[in-house]
A and B are shown apart, each in its own frame.
Chain A
Amino acid sequence: MQLICGANGGDMDRRKFILGSTSALTGGLLLPGIVGSAAAQELPAGAVASGILDALPGKRPLIKRSFRPPNYETPVSYFREAFTPNDAFYVRWHTGVPDIALADWRLRIAGPGVKSEREFTHDSLRRKFKTVEVAAVNQCSGNRRGLFNPHVAGVQWGFGAMGNAVWSGVRLKDVLEDAGLTASALEVVGDGADAPTLTGPDFVKSLPMWKALDPDTLIAFEMNGEPLPKWNGAPARLVAPGWTATYWIKALADLTVTDKPFDGFWMKTAYRVPKGMFGASGFESQDTEQNSPITSIKVNSLVVDPAPGAVLERGKRVEVLGIAWDGGSGIRNVEVSLDGGKTWRDAQLQRDLGRYSWRQWRYAIKPEQAGAMTLMARAHARDGSTQAETLVQNPAGYHHNVVQKVDYHVA
């Protein structure tokens, strides 16, 4: 395994803590959060063994969960930045990755829910509709699945199947209204240019009309001011802020407005949670008696720096940096506990970058006692929700938002 460091070297001098003894060191730099971290220890042993750093073309080294289809996780250290660099942004595909030139790209809009069909090129679409942008967390439904106990089969993600970016493109609403919606329009079905390897189901997802018509739901061409990398859905992808990334169809090719619930495998069978376990789905046409589609992101937080396992200097002030996010109500406050959850104090929220963006927070600590130390962080959303105290087990391993316990050593 070749060890290559990310672009975080410049920050390391500022980090005065000594690195954990089990951490891999390369030229004095800590590999971003895989080897020897508390997170890695909770992943299945096989996932730890296979989770090497590996660089896809055009990407920095990321944690490889699988090579084909490419599923690559962002090392936590990149989350020190408010927006995740495109070349460090995680990658998740169900199938092969389409490689479509912008000039060849077409978007078709059809189905019983539209009055007239449409086909756009990139130029015709951009010329016709206003460009807008939204800052939003893109989080895989299965982020943190690897931390489930007992483990659940699937891609064994740690903390990094997510990222925060400014997405830019046209409103899905504007495009749909241009085609004209009929009274029977029920769901908007998005299909990408990717196709299954064998005879398996094509990866196709639908949105309820209210979400499709939300002014923040986009057909995006850029992230963080640059064209989408092909790994993240070039030439265009859906952006459904606040909802898990399964709905953010990459390499978008077709939109079909249906008058019946779309019943493809990836809606009807996969990406489901037991009914009522995580509240109402907001997607009634896809609810059944037993289960619901996973939809909005649950409130969550993550300690970014110092990394778990770090050795802190006794009597020395350290600023803990973290992030917090939810499905779009916004973060009300983040609390930190240093006594196992008996008492909590508010962290200092940083600049509000929009309700779908994550919010950075800081909390200064000055450890006075040598030995083990545990820091807990808990976010509260403006909608009154807060993180889970214990894991809510569910068959597919979704919505892991248990309050994090980060162990440090004070010396």
Chain B
Amino acid sequence: MCHSLDYILMNSPFQDKAAWEKTVNKMVKVMGAPMTADDVAAVVAYLDTHYGKGAPATP
């Protein structure tokens, strides 16, 4: 949609869950990403698990 997936890998692994939450909320509230509250929670959990602080950063 707005951006390719490389944005995620590029921004890892230094963001904690709160930081990813801020990013996803900006996507929804500012950039207009069509996501429900449930979508947001699932995406944040996924990003935190795989690209969160301390997660292994491998492509």
Residues of A near any B CB (own CB < 8 A) = 44-47, 49-51, 64-69, 150-151, 153-156, 196-201, 265, 269
Contacts and interface: CB of A to CB of B under 8 A. Distances in A.
A198 B32 CA distance: 6
Contacts of A265: 30
Given A46-B57, A66-B6, A200-B2, A150 B14 contact: yes
Given A65-B10, A153-B11, A46 B51 contact: yes
Going nearest first, the 9 A-B pairs with the smallest beta carbon separation are A199-B32, A46-B12, A200-B31, A198-B32, A45-B57, A46-B57, A151-B14, A67-B4, A68-B4
Contact of A45 (B1, B3, B4, B13): B13
Interface of B: 1-4, 6-15, 19, 22-23, 30-34, 51, 57-59
Contact of B1 (A44, A64, A197, A201): A197
Contacts of B14: 44, 150-151
B10 A156 contact: yes
A49 B9 contact: yes
A276 to B, nearest CB: 25
A201 B8 CA distance: 21
A45 B11 CA distance: 9
Nearest to A1: B59
Contact of A44 (B2, B7, B10, B19): B10
A198 to B, nearest CB: 4
24 contacts: A44-B11, A45-B12, A45-B13, A45-B57, A47-B10, A47-B11, A49-B9, A49-B57, A50-B9, A50-B10, A50-B59, A51-B10, A65-B6, A66-B4, A66-B7, A66-B10, A156-B11, A196-B32, A198-B1, A198-B2, A198-B33, A200-B31, A200-B32, A265-B30
Contact of B59 (A44, A49, A154, A156): A49
A353 to B, nearest CB: 33
Given A46-B12, A199-B32, 10 more contacts: A45-B57, A46-B10, A50-B6, A50-B59, A68-B4, A151-B14, A197-B2, A198-B32, A198-B33, A265-B30
A198 B12 contact: no
A150 B30 CA distance: 25
Nearest to A51: B10
Given A67-B4, A153-B19, A44 B34 contact: no
B31 A198 contact: yes
B43 to A, nearest CB: 15
A94 to B, nearest CB: 9
B6 to A, nearest CB: 5
A155 to B, nearest CB: 7
A155 B10 contact: yes
